[in-house]
Chain A
Amino acid sequence: MPIRVRLAVMLAERQVKSKDLAEYVGITEANLSLLKQGKVKGVRFETIERICEFLKCQPGDLLRYEQGPPPDKEGPPFS
């Protein structure tokens, strides 16, 4: 999936510990670790809201779209 999660970068830039963020957001450290690695199916608005509150950032700072190899057959709808 060409969506990259930049949470690890944001944490490093702000020198914040994962444990503190997980505690503030109300999720487990294990789930936060999965989120950092982009290994989750989705993120709730509530979770994004809490992360942005804690890190004082925008949702767009947490996610990036990176053009990857085209899907199986069809290309992007607009190019």
Chain B
Amino acid sequence: MQSTTTADVPAGRDRQRRLRRVRGLSAIMAAACLTTSALLTAAMAFYWAATPTRTLLSQAGLANSPATELDVTVRALGFVVAMLPLAALIYGLLSARRCFKAFAAGDIFSRRTIGHLMAFAVAVAGSAFLKPFTGAAMSVLLSASVATGTKTLAFHIGSDTLIALIFAGAVAIIAWVMTEAADLSDENKQFV
């Protein structure tokens, strides 16, 4: 059994090195998720507070509407509507953060960790699904606020929405595969 023992040593070192990489990168990712969540919220608030009306209308698909200045209430409502998909995404990022924190602590194949990863996938899919509807609601809200007697409904599905859905599906499948891995890990723990 000498050959097995000598082969096991570099394999063990590789595994340790890989685990150190997983832990290190996970710690960075956990911090990045938290920072991104905070920045996204702050950026969205700043966007609705400071962006000129013309730009807001243009980005809501209402480039031809008359540029009546939006009052604070409409801007606040716009912020709330825009926050709906973002809130789902932030929930996902915070779930991803919990998942990365568990990875950083070496808790990789546990049901709870996998649950966080699945929550991230569901949240990303939810955010992508909500985005076209909140975009439509936004166009109605803004057009009703600026145009005289005219309301516009703009429904937009972009490649970013589809890519986000594919990404969410990929993460969900990875989470399911990890469930299988967790079962194997549990079984392996019963070997002496």
A interface residue numbers (CB < 8 A to B): 27, 31-32, 34-35, 40-47, 49
Is residue B42 contacting chain A, with contact meaning CB distance below 8 A?
A: no
Min distance, Cβ A1 to any Cβ of chain B, angstroms: 13
Q: How far is the CA of A41 from the CA of B189 in the complex (A)?
A: 9
Interface residues on B, range: under 10
Cα-based distance from A35 to B190 in the complex (angstroms): 10
From B1, B4, B187, B191, give the contact of A43 (CB < 8 A).
Answer: B191
Query: Would you call B192 and A31 a contact (CB within 8 A)?
Result: yes
User: Per-residue CB proximity of B177-192 to A under 8 Å, as 1/0?
Assistant: 0000000000100111
Contact among B1, B4, B190 with A40 in the assembled complex (CB-CB below 8 Å): B190
- For A45, give the chain B residue with the smallest CB separation: B1
Note all chain B residues with C-beta closer than 8 A to A27: 192
| Cβ-defined contact, A35 with B1, below 8 A | no
Please name the residue on chain B nearest to A25 by beta carbon.
B192
